[in-house]
């Protein structure tokens, strides 16, 4: 843009056109649709943060929920609909994580640009290796099961790179003139995340094989990447409070396997995890961020570092 204005200014000088006319033309250029920012709406705070890294100053990025909100269960608000009606791009986690609220908002927005199959629709799970895909037929009696696999893939930093690439592709589809700019920002983010992953992997080496229990099955990607075991859930069925009978089984298993750590997200009721922990001597409940914005984190990198540090600290305390 600066180059364009410089060229115009030179032409105006050569033709002795008054500066006031030049300023007026500059104002028209910068307020015209050609130079309008892309409007991007993200379903969760992690997508919002990553989109901001890729989009830079070429897009206005709006996140619908905070890092302390449960993405499975969201009360929609009028401002969601306003933002979606004006959006050029909608980015979602997909895999039915937001099935209870995003499809309704998409339909009500009457914005064709962000519907499935359109250039402005971005499912950030594209290209991600999905874990926990069901091997049996499922129905509602099994709780809030995800029929396409576990949707909490953003907790693996390598998947965050894939998320960034999907966002970059969506931005380039709707704003091809800035494609190189988005590509450069994506490459910078990728480099940062690869370095972060290497650093955190080295720190986690002494903890490889650590066994933890979880309230909800949302740490499988984090555990898979950093080589600890998070397969024991206190939730008997996703989204359904566990029975005392089932929790007693968890307590027996934790005691037998010497599992002393229970991980929970910031938006889960801690009482079930605390009950189980009270029955397992020397155990503790650890709340980790899960998403950007939880526990006062301000970046994806900070949330990841804090999550892993909390796990390491808990392991040291419960030895």
pLDDT at 20: 56
Structure tokens at 307: 């999550």
Domains of the chain, each with CATH number or no CATH = 1-36 (no CATH), 37-197 (3.40.50.1980), 204-317 (3.40.50.1980)
Over range 5-16, report the average pLDDT.
47
Q: Taking Cα atoms as reference points, which of 218, 230, 208, 211 lies closest to residue 283?
A: 211
234-250 pLDDT per residue, tens: 999 888 899 999 999 99
Q: Which residues of 27-39 are buried (b: 16+ CB within 10 A; e: fewer)?
A: eeeeeeeeeeebb
Give the 3-state secondary structure percentages of the chain, helix then strand then coil, rounded to 5.
55, 10, 35
pLDDT for 28 beyond 50: no
Across the range 153-180, mean pLDDT stands at: 98
pLDDT at 35: 65
For residue 269, give Cα distances in angstroms to 21, 77, 145, 234, 314: 63, 23, 19, 12, 20
Residue 33 has pLDDT above 50, yes or no: no
CA distance 122 to 170: 6
């Amino acid at each position: 843009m600066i180059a364009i204005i410089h060229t115009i200014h030179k032409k105006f000088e050569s033709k002795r056109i008054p500066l006031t006319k030049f300023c007026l033309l500059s104002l028209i250029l910068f307020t015209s649709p050609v130079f309008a920012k892309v409007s991007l709406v993200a379903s969760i705070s992690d997508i919002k943060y990553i989109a901001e890294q890729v989009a830079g100053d070429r897009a206005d990025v709006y996140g619908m929920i905070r890092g302390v909100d449960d993405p499975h269960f969201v009360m929609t608000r009028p401002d969601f609909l306003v933002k979606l009606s004006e959006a050029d791009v909608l980015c979602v986690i997909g895999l039915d994580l937001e099935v209870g609220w995003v499809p309704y908002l998409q339909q009500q927005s009457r914005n064709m640009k962000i519907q499935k199959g359109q250039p402005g629709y971005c499912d950030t799970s594209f290209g991600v290796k999905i874990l926990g895909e069901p091997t049996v037929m499922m129905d509602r009696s099994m709780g809030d099961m995800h029929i396409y696999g576990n949707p909490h893939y953003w907790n693996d930093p390598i998947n965050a790179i894939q998320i960034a690439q999907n966002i970059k592709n969506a931005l380039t589809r709707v704003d091809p003139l800035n494609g190189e700019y988005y590509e450069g920002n994506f490459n910078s983010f990728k480099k940062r995340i690869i370095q972060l992953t290497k650093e955190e992997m080295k720190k986690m080496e002494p903890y490889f094989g650590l066994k933890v229990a979880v309230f909800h099955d949302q740490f499988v990607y984090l555990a898979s990447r950093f080589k600890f075991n998070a397969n024991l859930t206190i939730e008997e069925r996703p989204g359904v409070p566990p029975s005392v009978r089932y929790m007693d089984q968890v307590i027996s298993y934790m005691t037998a396997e010497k599992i002393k750590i229970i991980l929970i997200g910031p938006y889960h009721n801690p009482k079930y995890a605390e009950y189980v922990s009270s029955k397992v001597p020397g155990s503790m409940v650890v709340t980790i961020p899960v998403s950007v914005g939880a526990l006062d984190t301000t970046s994806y990198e900070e949330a990841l570092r804090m999550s892993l540090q909390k796990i390491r600290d808990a392991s040291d305390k419960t030895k």
